[in-house]
Structure 1
Amino acid sequence: MQDQIIDLALELTKVTKAKIADLDQIMMRTQILSMNARLEAARAGEAGKSFSVVAQEMGSVSREVTELSGSLNLAISENAARIQNAGEEMMMGFKGSRYADMARNAVEIMDRNLYERSCDVRWWATDSAVVSVAEQPGAEAVAHATSRLATILRSYTVYLDLWIADRSGKVIANGRPDRYHGVIGADVSREDWFRRGLATADGDDFAVCDVEKVARLGNAQVATYSTAIRAGGETGGRSVGVLGIFFDWEPQARSIVEGISLSQEERKHSKVMLLDSRYRVIASTEPGAFGKTYPLKPEAEWGYGNKDGKIVAYGLTPGYETYRGLGWYGCIESAMNAAA
């Protein structure tokens, strides 16, 4: 609707200017006729005096009309510019608010998904097979834990793998040893998910890391959750190891950014993104954008602005239930004139 208003205003201006130009041409011809009439009146001498007065008056009227058309042309141009600016501001407000709502909704959907991941890691860390292998990592316990993790993975297809590490940071079991070679025995003691998982306060606590590519998982984009495995599976038990669960980020995030309700025309001129707390692109409808820093400068938890002729709208994660969120943003960048 805003685009139509602007188009109508510009079309009206165009038509009016064309008519004024036609009027100017008529006035020019009138002035030429007036000049010729005065010349003929001068040749006629005394008999042409009265006609000379009429010719002069015609010239005077023609000049007044020409001045009036010039003033009208200037006024129309100024008002057309004001209408266009007002229309663009209206369009910015309408689209900006709509896109900001969509951006916030996108990151909120992801938060609800990740809340479930935080529940999974705390629940599975109390599984008897997981606790037993962390407490006494013998061959039989490892085989049982591996089988148990594989069963979980068959049911929860959003995970790439589940790893159990002992307190020293050595991986002692995983759910897909046939797919991911070299995981068993790997030293993860310096990796963020292990250190933070080991440091969790109790069985209700968990750690979550920024989305990264993990070499041992085929360089896949992964969101990693972890928590300490505790003696006896008790909430307040001492830590005997760490459970790390690796969420298959890319396909889940892609479905969210591509699922935003933009029109086909808007999709041609827009990109939808999820940004982490450092404004790194962690999901985007633009191929190859993962890991790049986007120059977002939020002034509030929700908003929009004009950047180089494009609307940039954003919304900060609101968190979900006990999951506070990680300071992520949903973000939509769109051409100003993209049709809704």
Structure 2
Amino acid sequence: MQVSEITQGKKFTLEEVVEFTDLIAEKLDNAIDKVDNINHKTHVLSVNASIEAARAGTFGRPFGIVAANMSELSDETIKITERMRKDTKEILEVGNLIKSQSREYRGNRLSDLALVNIDLIDRNLYERTADVRWWATDGSIVDALTKKTPEAYESVSQRLNVILQAYTVYYDLVLADTEGNIVANGNKEKYSSVNTNVADRKWFTSAIRTKTGSEFGFQPVYRSPLVNNELAITYSAAVRENGDTKGRIIGVLGVIFKWESLSQTIINHTPIGEDEKNHTRICIVDNDGLILADSEGKVLKETLQFDKKTSLLGEKKNYMFTEYAGVPCCIGHALSPGFENYSTGWHSVIIQKLVNSKKSKP
């Protein structure tokens, strides 16, 4: 930044104010150094003049008076430059205070935004756990897995389709028997999953292991082959005999959630200014740093790596200044806070480059 760039009405970030403060202090130091240099020469000249005036005796008295005045001027100049150096030091102290407050403000703001993002995700996904546990007790679902007839499977498919019409956040709802064979799905026109075996899928095995109807199964962000490899999260619940929450398990209901629709909506609506977006990355990651949602679109393709990552992710809410991808950054973080005893356990991370840093300038 140059002083000539300061124009009336322009808005400045705190970092730009600090940069301008440093620039003023630097220019003052340079100016004082020049004055000191000139003053030193003036002092030497006055001393030499005094010596020559003394040698000249009576004829040198006028010259001696001038030399004395020059010496007094030099002494006064020294006092002025000392005061100027003190003022410059105070300017730098103010700049450092602003810099400290700027870092604190930026860090707290990013970690606050990160917390809002992961809280929205927790709240939304909690609803998915409620959905699947409720629907697993639906009469047509219990009836289909009890009768095991083509007519019952067709009837339950229609019921699942009706649910899908009302709950557009899902790609599909699938129903499997205890062997993991899908016997019905709600979106038959788009996805042909019937007769697919899912016995080795995490959402199925975790539901089969549940003890009561109040529990649920889960498979985190992945590309589901049941819905043409779309990014999804699948929640599941055991279907129990007679719909009894403690009854014998007769199958599993899986609800395949449109993860990208939720996550990208939250990321895209994070209140980051237009001037910040090109140097800010917004992510949701798991405990290893694997990217589950990303403003740069690298979901499941990258794991965040930076110095002291474990320390950052180990706290509930915090921020740090460190290098990411070789560039100085502020990284805000928040751990999943949970909602109604449900928590994804994921982390929300916002990485913002320090654009005014010399190392980050092109």
Is the pair's TM-score, using the shorter chain for normalization, greater than 0.5? Answer: yes
Aligned twin of 1:316: 335
Instruction: Name which of structure 1's ranges 110-119 and 286-295 shifts more when overlaid on structure 2.
Output: 286-295
Q: Displacement of 1:279 after TM fit?
A: 2.3
Q: Does residue 1:13 correspond to 2:28, yes or no?
A: no
AA of the residue aligned to 1:306: F
User: Aligned equivalents of 2:157 and 2:34: distance in 1?
Assistant: 87
Aligned length: 335
Q: Displacement of 1:165 after TM fit?
A: 0.8
The equivalent position to 2:345 in structure 1, one of 318, 327, 332, is 327
The equivalent position to 2:148 in structure 1, one of 120, 137, 141, is 137
TM-score by length of 2: 0.82
Q: Displacement of 1:336 after TM fit?
A: 3.3
Q: Does residue 1:305 correspond to 2:320, yes or no?
A: yes
AA of the residue aligned to 2:57: E
The equivalent position to 1:236 in structure 2, one of 241, 246, 251, is 246
Distance 1:289 1:238, change over 3 A: closer
AA of the residue aligned to 1:280: L
Q: Does residue 1:195 correspond to 2:213, yes or no?
A: no
Give the conservation status (yes or no) of the 8 Å contact 2:36–2:78: no
Instruction: Name which of structure 1's ranges 284-293 and 235-244 shifts more when overlaid on structure 2.
Output: 284-293
User: Aligned equivalents of 1:208 and 1:69: distance in 2?
Assistant: 74
User: Aligned equivalents of 1:281 and 1:78: distance in 2?
Assistant: 46
SS of aligned partner of 1:189: coil
Aligned twin of 1:30: 42
User: Aligned equivalents of 2:70 and 2:137: distance in 1?
Assistant: 101
User: Aligned equivalents of 1:277 and 1:116: distance in 2?
Assistant: 23
Give the conservation status (yes or no) of the 8 Å contact 2:332–2:351: yes
Deviation per CA, 1:133-166: give whole Å up to 9, x if none: 2222211111111111112112111111111111
Aligned twin of 2:272: 262
- Greater length-normalized contact order (CA 8 Å, ≥ 6 residues apart): 1
Aligned twin of 2:131: 120
The equivalent position to 1:276 in structure 2, one of 279, 286, 292, is 286
Distance 1:322 1:37, change over 3 A: closer
Q: Displacement of 1:202 after TM fit?
A: 1.2
Q: Displacement of 1:210 after TM fit?
A: 1.6
User: Aligned equivalents of 1:103 and 1:178: distance in 2?
Assistant: 39
Give the conservation status (yes or no) of the 8 Å contact 1:146–1:173: yes
Q: How does 1:281-292 map to 2 (within 5 A)?
A: 281-292=291-302
Aligned twin of 2:236: 226
Deviation per CA, 1:109-148: give whole Å up to 9, x if none: 1111111101110111111221122222211111111111
User: Aligned equivalents of 2:296 and 2:59: distance in 1?
Assistant: 81
Give the conservation status (yes or no) of the 8 Å contact 1:121–1:245: yes
Q: Displacement of 1:39 after TM fit?
A: 8.6
- CA RMSD across the alignment: 2.8
The equivalent position to 1:208 in structure 2, one of 218, 237, 244, is 218
User: Aligned equivalents of 1:246 and 1:23: distance in 2?
Assistant: 75
SS of aligned partner of 1:20: helix
User: Aligned equivalents of 2:158 and 2:66: distance in 1?
Assistant: 108
User: Aligned equivalents of 2:247 and 2:298: distance in 1?
Assistant: 44
Q: Displacement of 1:320 after TM fit?
A: 0.9
The equivalent position to 2:117 in structure 1, one of 85, 102, 106, is 106
TM-score by length of 1: 0.87
AA of the residue aligned to 1:199: R
Unaligned runs of 5+ in 2: 1-12, 357-362
Distance 1:135 1:180, change over 3 A: same
Q: How does 1:42-191 map to 2 (within 5 A)?
A: 45-51=56-62, 53-54=64-65, 57=68, 60=71, 79-181=90-192, 183-191=193-201
Percent identity, aligned pairs only, is: 28
Instruction: Name which of structure 1's ranges 295-304 and 104-113 shifts more when overlaid on structure 2.
Output: 295-304
Give the conservation status (yes or no) of the 8 Å contact 1:229–1:239: yes
